[in-house]
Amino acid sequence: AQKVTQAQTEISVVEKEDVTLDCVYETRDTTYYLFWYKQPPSGELVFLIRRNSFDEQNEISGRYSWNFQKSTSSFNFTITASQVVDSAVYFCALSEAGGGGSQGNLIFGKGTKLSVKP
Amino acid sequence: GAGVSQTPSNKVTEKGKYVELRCDPISGHTALYWYRQSLGQGPEFLIYFQGTGAADDSGLPNDRFFAVRPEGSVSTLKIQRTERGDSAVYLCASRARVDTEAFFGQGTRLTVV
């Protein structure tokens, strides 16, 4: 069965600090996709990044970077030089594609609430 | 429209009543998902449609909850005999394929009084 664990419930940092949000997943499939979403106080879930299981190359987009490690089943998200506007709840999600019964399902972790203080 | 649309945005109902929540996905998206999100929690999976059929309804909490997608586009989540514990934001999402991102609607905030 697929499962996503975000052990950090809440994180509070001061502006300009770097912060890493952890995500650990469980799946039996060899083909799967990982996602990060942001949910600001307005409530709408905003897509940030997608990564497939065959691509372990880390990705950087501006102040955001993602570290995917299959060996530890982790897909961590780092914000460099955090800003107040980064304050939100961040969700990691997993979708299996290998036909193992839950193909196509999209499961979320419980989220990490990030507060960036000025 | 360009995005996922959910109606109504807010719904207040009395305990024991029946409610319907509507989701209009992005045109052409074959996969449609319903989630329930309580305050401070992550989206809790309810049901997933691939086309007209429910590919996975294992998240529906009990038989008071039912969802349909008769023409493979618009979906309706139906809740019978509502209870106060059903109060939450109900989110709908759609995506084109399993390897693409899901797009979410703004949600329907259901309050059972």
Q: How far is A51 from chain B (nearest CA, A)?
A: 9
Q: Are B82 and B19 in contact (CB under 8 A)?
A: yes
Q: Return the pLDDT at B6.
A: 98
pLDDT in tens, B62-83: 999 999 999 999 999 999 999 9
pLDDT in tens, A73-112: 999 999 999 999 999 999 999 998 865 555 688 899 999 9
State the best of B101, B103, B108, B109 to mutate against chain A, taking most chain A CBs within 10 Å. B101
The residue among B108, B103, B111, B87 whose CA lies nearest residue B33 is B103
d(CA A21, CA A54): 22
Strand pairing partners for A10?
A113
Q: Number of CB pairs < 8 Å for A and B?
A: 60
Q: What percentage of chain A carries pLDDT values higher than 70?
A: 95
Q: Return the pLDDT at A20.
A: 98
CB B48 to CB A35 under 8 A?
Answer: no
Q: Does A11 touch chain B (CB under 8 A)?
A: no
Q: Return the pLDDT at A59.
A: 85
d(CA B104, CA B26): 10
For residue A31, the chain B residue with the least C-alpha distance is B99
For β-strands B75-79 and A46-52, DSSP reports them as unpaired
The answer, yes or no, to whether residue A45 has pLDDT greater than 70, is yes
CB A111 to CB B42 under 8 A?
Answer: yes
For residue A113, the chain B residue with the least C-alpha distance is B40
pLDDT in tens, A10-37: 999 999 999 999 999 999 888 999 999 9
The answer, yes or no, to whether residue B107 has pLDDT greater than 60, is yes
pLDDT in tens, B31-63: 999 999 998 889 999 999 999 999 899 999 999
- Candidates B41, B45, B101; nearest CB to A50: B101
